Amino acid sequence: MRLTEPKPFYFQDTLTPTEQRGSLRSYLERQFPFHAIDWAALLGAQCLRLDGQIALDLDSTLENINHISIDFPAYQEKPVPIEWRLIAEFDDIIAVYKPAGLPVSRTTRNIRDTLVQLVKSRWPDAHLLHRLDQDTAGIILLGKTQSAAAYWQPRLNELLIEKHYQALVYGQPDWNNYACDKPLNTRKTSGSDHEIRSKMHVCADGEKGKACRTVFAVQQRFEEVSLINCHLFTGRKHQIRAHLAHLGHAIVGDKMYSHDGLFYFKQLDDTLSADDLRTLKAPHHLLIASKVVLAIQGERVTLTCEHDSPYWQQLVGGE
């Protein structure tokens, strides 16, 4: 996607203790590493404020500073899909649909266009109860207020009693049902630039890892891909993606867990070609949080949604 036209944007943040030990310049460079911004010009235009006071020096320390705000007269970032929608509203929580490609919260590349910021246009104090990967579509829960989120986050297992995903995977499994209980862990890396540090892997016998359980069921087989229902019993990082890759059927479009991670590095370098995308069959992985069962005031409430990606529809023949 190309950059959109620059627009005014008001940014504010609460500093962490680590950030308070650095300078204003170091904070800005860490927060906006992929943005070509003339910080000196913004400083001169009095667009940077520290605890409400105009910042005077980019090299000033942030010690004893709690809040920073930036009034960008013109700001742009790489566009992402922003077509979220409300699925259900309850007394203190909401369930919304997140499209594939929209980050749930701030990243180094997307600060303005995130699910949280978009939802806050309607519920200004909304806070996440859990997360989805940027490329994963589907249902996500938020508290309408910070106090609601603080109440439900430690009780999420009482609220969210079932989680089901659908995935399109490469190939056709030779099983119809498969319960995968393989523990997962991050792989120890040697520091090489050719290793994916955030990638999860199935633990070898005797290796310590986090207990996981995913129950898979083949719903339909197509010419090149298969549709899999994934019942998630634990919520480990990349659990479904890592388990399916371990079984030899990585999720379509998954740059990290398919093709030995080749396209993950090419995406980081912005060098993915049209041929690469044809090989992947989709620019994002085809995984959706398609169904949740909630416990609301003593009743089971089932919420569902469907993937709106044209790549999904194309691979399943529009069915």
The CATH number of 160-300, from 3.40.50.2300, 3.30.2350.10, 1.10.3720.10, 3.30.43.10, is 3.30.2350.10
Percent of the chain with pLDDT over 90: 76
Is the pLDDT at 191 greater than 60? The verdict is: no
Query: Which whole number is the average pLDDT over 198-210?
Result: 88
The Cα–Cα gap between 13 and 70 comes to: 9
Is the pLDDT at 303 greater than 60? The verdict is: yes
Q: Judge contact between 280 and 257, C-beta under 8 A.
A: no
Other CB atoms within a 10 A radius of the CB of residue 22 amount to: 15
Which tens digit of pLDDT belongs to each residue from 212-230? 999 999 999 998 999 999 9
Q: Judge contact between 315 and 166, C-beta under 8 A.
A: no
Which tens digit of pLDDT belongs to each residue from 89-144? 999 999 999 999 999 998 878 888 899 999 999 999 999 999 999 999 999 999 99
48: β partners? 70
Is the pLDDT at 187 greater than 80? The verdict is: no
Which tens digit of pLDDT belongs to each residue from 70-93? 999 999 888 899 999 999 999 999
Burial class (CB in 10 A: 0-12, 13-18, 19+), 284: buried
Percent of the chain with pLDDT over 70: 95
Instruction: Please provide the average confidence, as pLDDT, over all residues in the chain.
Output: 92
Which residue would you say has higher pLDDT here, 190 or 284? 284
Which tens digit of pLDDT belongs to each residue from 137-167? 999 999 999 999 999 999 999 999 999 999 9
Is the pLDDT at 17 greater than 80? The verdict is: yes
Q: Kindly indicate the confidence band of residue 267, based on its pLDDT and cuts at 50, 70 and 90.
A: confident
Domain with CATH 3.30.2350.10 in the chain: 85-159, 160-300
Query: Which whole number is the average pLDDT over 187-205?
Result: 71
Q: In what order do the strands lie in the sheet with 48-50?
A: 7-14, 67-75, 48-50, 53-54
**Rounded-to-5 percentages of helix, strand, coil across the chain:** 20, 30, 50
Domain with CATH 3.10.290.10 in the chain: 7-75
Query: Which whole number is the average pLDDT over 244-263?
Result: 95
Which residue would you say has higher pLDDT here, 195 or 289? 289
Query: Which whole number is the average pLDDT over 300-312?
Result: 94
Is the pLDDT at 285 greater than 90? The verdict is: yes
Q: What pLDDT sits at residue 112?
A: 87
Q: Judge contact between 251 and 286, C-beta under 8 A.
A: yes
Which tens digit of pLDDT belongs to each residue from 24-60? 999 999 988 878 899 999 999 999 999 999 999 999 9
Is the pLDDT at 318 greater than 70? The verdict is: no
- CATH topology assigned to domain 85-159: Pseudouridine synthase (3.30.2350)
Instruction: Write out the two tokens for 190.
Output: 């040697």
pTM over 0.95: no
The CATH number of 7-75, from 1.10.357.10, 1.10.10.10, 2.60.40.420, 3.10.290.10, is 3.10.290.10
Q: Kindly indicate the confidence band of residue 205, based on its pLDDT and cuts at 50, 70 and 90.
A: confident
CA angle 162, 165, 168 (to 5 degrees): 165
